[in-house]
Amino acid sequence: MKREAPKSLADYSPLFFPGLMLIVFFVIPFSTMIAVSFFQRDPSGFYTPDFVFTNYARFLSLFFGKVLGFSLVLAVMVAICCVVIAFPFTFLLTKRPRKVQTIWLVCLLSVLSLSEVIIGFAWSTLFSRTAGITNLFVAIGLMKEPVALLPSFWAVLTGMVYQALPYTILVLYPALVRLDPTLLEAARTLGASPVRAFMNVVVPALRNTIVATLIMVFVFALGSYLLPQILGRPSHWTLSVLITDQAIYQSNMPFAAAMAVFLVLMSLALVGLTLLVGRRENAL
């Protein structure tokens, strides 16, 4: 069937609704944020419309650079951990009978219904000295006395990976289900071990899916602000924590907006870079 170019206004009508949603839920809020980031902060009130760069100037310091760097590294680590765990898991899941798959997927979806607060408090209890898992290790003789596993970087990472893992699996699942099984069969027939076939055939075949998933988890993890507070020390606070402080506790909307804009730009840049590298590799 030949696809005709849209001619009349009516032909474009299917685009109206998504377009409207995009404008209402993305363009307007984001433009507002950009506008506010240039406003003049008024310490005794709120802010006044203006066009100043002081908010960005304040952000450009070694201190905030370090916080931004930490946030990005943390999000990248969460993304990598999630994909490393979720990819083989989802692959094995797709090899199970349909019924088993459904049960697993329902369980994973139910984890998604937990809010960040519940996840944070649950892990802080699990990692605590008084009621945490180390008590179990003491009981079975692995440890001498219970210790607190938080606040620490690893606690933050664990909590965030736990939170993002269901998303990762759900994003990977459709691609892995659709993967042509004959690819693996061919590899096995030619003498590859299962692990080798997985690493050399399945992983490269789904490279684009993996990159897309990494980006999605990265962006998801970048916005986390509760788990670093509950499970980490102040040195593990992400930029999102500091943005919240400015917006809610200091009433400094312009500075909070400037930091948020910066965070969005940095993540867009990283995502763009990843896609660019991916495209070049594909071209080779």
Partner 1 sequence: MTKILNHPMSRRAVLGAGVASAGLLAMPSILRAQDKSIKIGVYGGYFKKSFDEHIFPEFTKATGIAVESIAEPTGEAWLVQLEQAAKAGQAPADISMMSQVATLKGQATELWTPIDAAKIKNHANLLDHFINKYPDGRIAGIGAVAWYITLVTNTDVFKEAPTSWAALWDPANADKLGLLALASNSFLLEVTATTFMGGTKALDTEEGILKALEKLAEVKPNVRLWYRDEAQFEQALKSGEIPMGQYYHDVTGLAAADGQPVRSTFPKEGGIQDSGNWVISRASTKVDEAHIFIDHMSQPAVQSLMSRKVGTAPTLKKEVLDLKPEEFASVSSDIPPIIPRYDLYTTKADWINQKWTELIVG
Structural contact between residues 167 and 85, judged by C-beta atoms closer than 8 angstroms: no
228 binds partner 1 (CB under 8 A): no
Does 282 participate in binding partner 1 (rule CB under 8 A)? Answer: no
| Cα-Cα end-to-end distance for the chain | 33
Q: Does 250 bind partner 1 (CB under 8 A)?
A: yes
* 151 part of the interface to partner 1, by CB under 8 A: yes
Task: Indicate whether 17 belongs to the interface with partner 1 (CB under 8 A).
Answer: no
Of positions 217, 253, 259, 261, contacts partner 1 by CB under 8 A: 253
- Residue 122 makes contact with partner 1 by CB under 8 A: no
* Residue 156 near residue 224, CB atoms below 8 Å: no
Question: Using the rule CB under 8 A, is 51 a contact of partner 1?
Answer: no
- In 3D space, the residue among 235, 230, 216 whose CA is nearest the CA of residue 69 turns out to be 235
Helix axes 153-178, 207-222, angle to 10 degrees: 140
Q: Which is nearer to partner 1, 167 or 255 (CB)?
A: 255
Q: Of residues 15, 109, 131, 186, which one binds partner 1 by CB under 8 A?
A: 131
Nearest to partner 1 of 129, 178 (CB atom): 129
Task: Determine if 130 is a binding residue for partner 1 (CB under 8 A).
Answer: yes
Q: DSSP for 22-53? A: HIIIIIHHHHHHHHHHTSEE-TTSSEE-----
| Sole residue written with tokens 């079975």 | 140
For position 235 contacting partner 1 by CB under 8 A, the verdict is yes
Single residue of 46, 109, 178, 276 touching partner 1 by CB under 8 A:
46
Q: Does 206 bind partner 1 (CB under 8 A)?
A: no
- Placement of tokens 């993890």 in the chain: 221
